[in-house]
Amino acid sequence: MNKRQKKGISARELLDQLQKDPSYAKMLEEKEKKKEQNAEEYFIAAKPIFESLADEGLHLTPNNALSREVLALSRGDFTKAIPILLEWLSRVDLSALREDIVRTFAVPWTDPNIAPELIRIIDLETEDSSFSWAIANTLEVIADETIQEDLIRLISKDELGSTRQMLVLALGNINNESSINTLVSLLPDHDLIGHAIMALGKIYPPNLEEIISPYKDHEREWIRAEVQKILST
């Protein structure tokens, strides 16, 4: 029997087929409408924040993302914007805007009082979400010893899911015995081991090689790569 090998379809051919499919075209149209609707909702919700900033002499472009505009400010003007943004964070309901406000705090020169306030907010979160992850991502930049106990406590909350990984990285900002011991205790955790190794690499305790060498042959490639990267520095 003459068997003919079935020819595969190229990505270009697949795209051509999809573009001729009415259901695909409708899906793209609906997706674009949703994107426009989300943008409209964002700018409507952000308008009073831009107005509050303008009242303090901070005239930003209201048709750009809030975080992009605020992070472009000078440090002096950024400092003036912080209390305004912090006040609005507790008043805003739109998730995308709340996350954007949180992202504006993710710079080393932010107000030191921001971290405890973000801890208070994330404490109210009862599940893993993009908002809680955004908070933890910001804490990874600004965390210091003042919130160490809170970080350790939040890391133990299983309901925070993948958000805990960013909290582990935040703990890596704090170079003391308690942080190191906590991170070492997280190494057996399947979900947190990689981030605990990364955080230990930031602290780099004297016995780091002894701590992480057993994971050079870990089953997950990215963890093996992280161990090798740390040990080679």
C-alpha span between 211 and 208 (Å, rounded):
5
Q: Delineate the domains of the chain, giving CATH numbers in brackets.
A: 40-104 (no CATH), 115-233 (1.25.10.10)
- Given a contact cutoff of 8 angstroms between Cβ atoms, the answer to whether 154 and 160 are in contact is yes
Q: Tell me what the mean pLDDT of segment 162-167 comes to.
A: 96
Whole-angstrom CA distances from 17 to 12, 29, 69, 189 are: 9, 17, 41, 46
DSSP class of residue 156? T
Q: Tell me what the mean pLDDT of segment 127-138 comes to.
A: 91
Whole-angstrom CA distances from 4 to 1, 8, 13, 151 are: 10, 12, 20, 61
Q: What is the mean pLDDT of the chain?
A: 89
Q: Which amino acid belongs to residue 223?
A: I
User: Residue 1: pLDDT above 50?
Assistant: no
Residue 13's φ and ψ, nearest 5 degrees, are -65, -40
User: Residue 25: pLDDT above 80?
Assistant: no
Which residue, chain included where needed, has tokens 């909702």? 41
For 86-199, strand residue ranges (E) read none
Tens digits of residue pLDDT in 32-42: 777 778 889 99
User: Residue 27: pLDDT above 80?
Assistant: no
- Given a contact cutoff of 8 angstroms between Cβ atoms, the answer to whether 60 and 53 are in contact is yes
Q: Which of 201, 136, 143 is nearest to 167 (CA)?
A: 136
Confidence of residue 6 (pLDDT cuts 50, 70, 90): very low
- Given a contact cutoff of 8 angstroms between Cβ atoms, the answer to whether 226 and 199 are in contact is no
Q: What H or E segment, with its residue span, contains residue 228? A: helix 221-231
User: Residue 224: pLDDT above 60?
Assistant: yes
Which residue, chain included where needed, has tokens 């011991």? 181
